[in-house]
Structure 1
Amino acid sequence: MSQFPLHTLDSAPEASKPAMEALQSAFGFLPNIARVMSTSPVLINSLVALFGPVHSGSFSEPQVQIVLLTDAVTNASTWAVAFHTTLALQNGISPADVQAIRNGDLPKEVKYAALSRLAKTLIEKRGRLNAFDKEKFLEAGFGTGHLLEVIAIVAASTITNYTTSVTQPPLDADFQVHAWTA
């Protein structure tokens, strides 16, 4: 039995409800991770504060999903890998590129590969990029502002990845087809 309840809009702490409503509106349903996160208004509100800017920044939604899926794999977050696999495929990322990331490899598409490499490197090196790491990303046609924006995406996904590792919410039925193990 999990120590972390799967809250509904009715059972969640009052301070979590606006964030839950925002996520439900964004996804059309309330993912189990949001239901678990709502136990802590600070946590769910922190995620939602990053969510909007991450998904409305300078990257396309497929590019954001590349970073989020890479982060989930790098952090071995099984729930998030299944979730972001679903969203990546829905956003038109090729099944081959999605599978490459799920396998810990780089996608074939050049810009996707640069985003994936940078996200993985940021996590593995705890943000301590060297000149080569930065140059490799910039050579793919991105700017320094993009590099900094990837940090925000990694921060948002880290909230979800760490929460799934700690709470281990059940995988939503819609994502079962993309279940993953590290």
Structure 2
Amino acid sequence: MAEFTVYDEKTAPEQARPMLAGAKRRLGFISTLAGVMAESPELLAGYNALFEKFQASSLPGPAKHVVMITASVANECAYCVAAHSTMALRADLDQDTVGALRDSKPLDDPALEVVRAFTRAVVDGRGWVDDERVDAFLAAGFTRRHLLDVVLGVGVKTLSNYTNHIAHTPLDPAWAAQEWTPPGA
């Protein structure tokens, strides 16, 4: 098994150092995910840029959390499920909703359930989503822009989920209270 270094702002490749320093200013620490991604400054820069664009997207805040957790559960990324569960709870998404997302269960909120189901369909179908699912998403009051913003969120999670799978990224203490294990693991 290849071992990946978890870099910090002093040990990372030169191009990645400013990005890790910025992460430390924003979060108060450098996540192990960012530390691993620093091996490829281009990956880290791409991930940061896409994550920032997703955060600025047209989706409502709770829906963004639904996309992040749902995609991470579908991809069985223990690191990202823990991280995004923590962030969702800090953003006041209720514990029942976060728990249902972590368990791949339908949500009580009809609008968020449409986002969850659509996100899961995007991930499971590798982008091939049937017209009925697309129509249901739009009929729930979401727009084509929202639909494409879900695709952006899935793309962001693909970068981090796959990195974590390959690198076996250790979980940060900040996310430990929301540790998650994929079913059947």
> What TM bracket, shorter-length normalisation?
over 0.9
Spell out, residue by residue over 1:79-100, the C-alpha distance to the aligned partner (whole angstroms, 9 max, x if none): 1111011011111111111111
Give aligned pairs, total. 182
**Corresponding residue for residue 82 of structure 2:** 82
**Corresponding residue for residue 24 of structure 1:** 24
Residue 45 in structure 1 maps to residue 45 in structure 2:
yes
Q: Note the C-alpha offset of 1:2.
A: 6.4
Letter in 2 for 1:120: R
Spell out, residue by residue over 1:49-87, the C-alpha distance to the aligned partner (whole angstroms, 9 max, x if none): 212111111123322111000011000000111101101
CA contact (8 A) 1:98 1:107 kept: no
- Between the aligned partners of 1:160 and 1:71, the Cα distance in structure 2 is 11
Spell out, residue by residue over 1:91-114, the C-alpha distance to the aligned partner (whole angstroms, 9 max, x if none): 111111111111111221122111
CA contact (8 A) 2:31 2:172 kept: yes
Instruction: Give the percent of matched residue pairs that are identical in Structure 1 and Structure 2.
Output: 29
Q: Note the C-alpha offset of 1:18.
A: 2.9
Structure 2 counterpart SS, 1:3: coil
**Corresponding residue for residue 65 of structure 1:** 65
Deviation larger for 89-98 or 25-34? 25-34
CA contact (8 A) 2:101 2:107 kept: yes
**Corresponding residue for residue 116 of structure 2:** 116
Q: Note the C-alpha offset of 1:25.
A: 3.3
Q: Given the two structures, how large is their TM-score scaled by the length of structure 1?
A: 0.94
CA contact (8 A) 1:82 1:178 kept: yes
**CA root-mean-square deviation:** 1.4
CA contact (8 A) 1:23 1:48 kept: no
Letter in 2 for 1:46: G
Deviation larger for 10-19 or 158-167? 10-19
CA contact (8 A) 1:114 1:136 kept: yes
Structure 2 counterpart SS, 1:39: coil
- Between the aligned partners of 1:171 and 1:78, the Cα distance in structure 2 is 8
- Between the aligned partners of 1:118 and 1:24, the Cα distance in structure 2 is 33
Letter in 1 for 2:170: P
Gaps of 5+ in 1: none
Structure 2 counterpart SS, 1:83: helix
Letter in 2 for 1:43: L
**Corresponding residue for residue 145 of structure 2:** 145
**Corresponding residue for residue 128 of structure 2:** 128
Spell out, residue by residue over 1:117-164, the C-alpha distance to the aligned partner (whole angstroms, 9 max, x if none): 111110100101111110111122100111011111110111111111
Structure 1: 4+ residue segments shifted above 3 A: none
CA contact (8 A) 2:13 2:38 kept: yes
CA, structure 1 residues 59+31, in 2 after alignment: closer, same or farther (shift >3 Å)? same
CA contact (8 A) 1:89 1:98 kept: yes
Q: Given the two structures, how large is their TM-score scaled by the length of structure 2?
A: 0.93
